[in-house]
Amino acid sequence: MAERRFSATRLPGFATIAMLAFLALYIPILTLVVYSFNSEVTMGNWGDLTLAWYGKAWANADVKDATLRSLTIAGLAAVISTTLATMAALGTTRRRAFKGQTFIYVMINQPLMVPEIVTAVALMILFGLIKTVTGVHGLGYLVLAHSAFCIPFAYLPIRARLEGMDLTLETAAADLYASAWATFRRVTLPILMPGVIAGAMLAFVVSLDDVVITEFVKSAGQDTLPTYMLGQMRRQLTPEINAISTGLLLVTVAMLTAFFLLTRKND
């Protein structure tokens, strides 16, 4: 009889541990979503089922303003970081293994390794200096900061896609009279596209969610949705926050689902 291979699913207590882990992951979110429909202001009481908080959040000019800013920054940061990440991925995979390759990977993925709070303080100081010297203010600083820390999130799926690509395809394109540019445009990029879109979505979601760096870099009146929510917490906590969170959750889940569909192997 064939020997059974080791499988974690057969260990005693596997199902229990898995269940507990899932509960730990989803109960808080579920609570948040449920309470966003609670008509009572305090968490302790449950009143009626209501959509009033969604209405209130929707009508709130500050929320609208912060949402718009969040989407603008995330959109720009996604485009910029994905473009740079695509170039970086092409640069690091389209060649033979070289000395210091790991070092380059580490350099590219710096934002994943340096504590975010350190980057935040560093950017605050540097941007503060630049603002004082040049007198230039604006959203540009936030866009730049977001683009930078989004690069590794865009880079990783693109690189994975590139590494899975058969290089013979590029050779075949060259054999069929395609110039280097035409090969990139007509063969490499289309095949890479799912990775690029996945990378852009991941970057978008990561930017949308950022608090730490944004909080430190933003000037007055540059609240994004997360920093606005943080600010609200200091005053009075209402289920409006729950409603906004649920909305943010919906957008993120939708994008991540699309991300996983795009990075499935069988396309």
Partner 1 sequence: MTAKNAIEARNVVKAFGQGDTAVRALDDVSVEIRQGEFFTLLGPSGCGKTTLLRLIAGFEMPTDGLILLDGQDITYLPPNKRPVNTVFQSYALFPHLTVAQNISFGLEMMGKPRAEIAARTEKMLALVKLEAMAGRKTSQLSGGQQQRVALARALAPQPKVLLLDEPLSALDLKLRQAMQIELKRLQQETGITFVFVTHDQEEALTMSDRIGVMSNGKLQQVGTAKEIYTTPKNRFVASFIGETNFLAAKADGTKARLASGDVVDLAVPVSGDVTLTVRPEQVRLASANEPGALPATITNLVYFGTDTHVHLALSDGTEVTARVQSPATGDAGLEKGAKAAIRFAPGAVQVVGD
Contacting residues toward partner 1, per CB under 8 A: 166, 168-169, 171-179, 182, 186-187, 190-191
Residue 153 Cβ vs partner 1, minimum distance, rounded to whole Å: 25
Cβ proximity to partner 1: between 3 and 166 the closer is 166
Residue 253 Cβ vs partner 1, minimum distance, rounded to whole Å: 28
Cβ proximity to partner 1: between 57 and 158 the closer is 158
Instruction: Annotate 27-75 with DSSP letters as a single string.
Output: HHHHHHHHHTTB-SSSTT----B--HHHHHHHH-HHHHHHHHHHHHHHH
In the chain, the N- to C-terminal Cα span, in Å, equals 37
CB 86 within 8 A of CB 94: no
| Distance separating alpha carbons of residues 38 and 45, to the nearest angstrom | 8
Residue 189 Cβ vs partner 1, minimum distance, rounded to whole Å: 10
CB 202 within 8 A of CB 259: yes
| Distance separating alpha carbons of residues 145 and 121, to the nearest angstrom | 12
Token pair listed for 62: 């500050």
The closest alpha carbon to 85, from 154, 148, 145, belongs to 154
The closest alpha carbon to 205, from 252, 152, 257, belongs to 252
Residue 163 Cβ vs partner 1, minimum distance, rounded to whole Å: 16
Residue type, 260: F
Residue 197 Cβ vs partner 1, minimum distance, rounded to whole Å: 14
Q: What are the backbone dihedrals phi and psi of residue 109, each rounded to the nearest 5 degrees, phi first?
A: -90, 20
Residue 97 Cβ vs partner 1, minimum distance, rounded to whole Å: 15
Token pair listed for 221: 């009146």
Cβ proximity to partner 1: between 68 and 169 the closer is 169
Cβ proximity to partner 1: between 173 and 248 the closer is 173
Cβ proximity to partner 1: between 18 and 167 the closer is 167
Cβ proximity to partner 1: between 32 and 178 the closer is 178
Residue 258 Cβ vs partner 1, minimum distance, rounded to whole Å: 19
Cβ proximity to partner 1: between 3 and 175 the closer is 175
Radius of gyration of the chain (CA): 23
Token pair listed for 80: 């910029």
